[in-house]
Amino acid sequence: MLIKIGNALVDPNEIAVIQPDRNERLSEYDKSTHILIELRNGGSIWIEASMDEAEAALIDAGVVTDLTASEDTGFPSLHLTDEETEKLYELESDGYRFMARDQDGKLYAYRHKPEYGGFYWNDPSPSNATSLQIDDFSFIDQDNPEPTAICCLLNYPNLN
């Protein structure tokens, strides 16, 4: 099933990350008129659309759940230190898109979406991963079934 986001038809199963154009209205991500869709195969496409339009298309297609539809379902609080927030922006500007914690507790940032290999996360391009401080981002658990997208953390509604 393809869904329409802005001026493009996209297979939602192939979407790895959707993020706004960082060069447009940096303080108003949801008002951006261009978004970048990174695909699971490593490719990416630019689309003329807003983040609100992308979210609405994914919700309408049943791909994601609208957590703001009810008072009972909201985002949990996420408290980051100033150093962690700064580190997220630094990682993103260096091209890192995901973070994941191995079963031994070690935390890594990846440029491409890694796959879980049973004990370690495997990056399709191993030279594109970097080690982080084990104590940072304690909310990223080694039992998370998916890596954490850095852009989602930066756009998180309760981010301190």
HEC string of 29-94 equals: HHHCCEEEEEECCCCEEEEECCHHHHHHHHHHCCCCCCCCCCCCCCCCCECCCHHHHHHHHHHHHC
Name the band, by pLDDT with cuts 50, 70 and 90, for residue 80.
confident
> Which tokens hold the place of 77?
């609080």
For residue 91, what pLDDT is reported? 92
Q: 50-63, pLDDT tens digit by residue?
A: 777 887 787 777 76
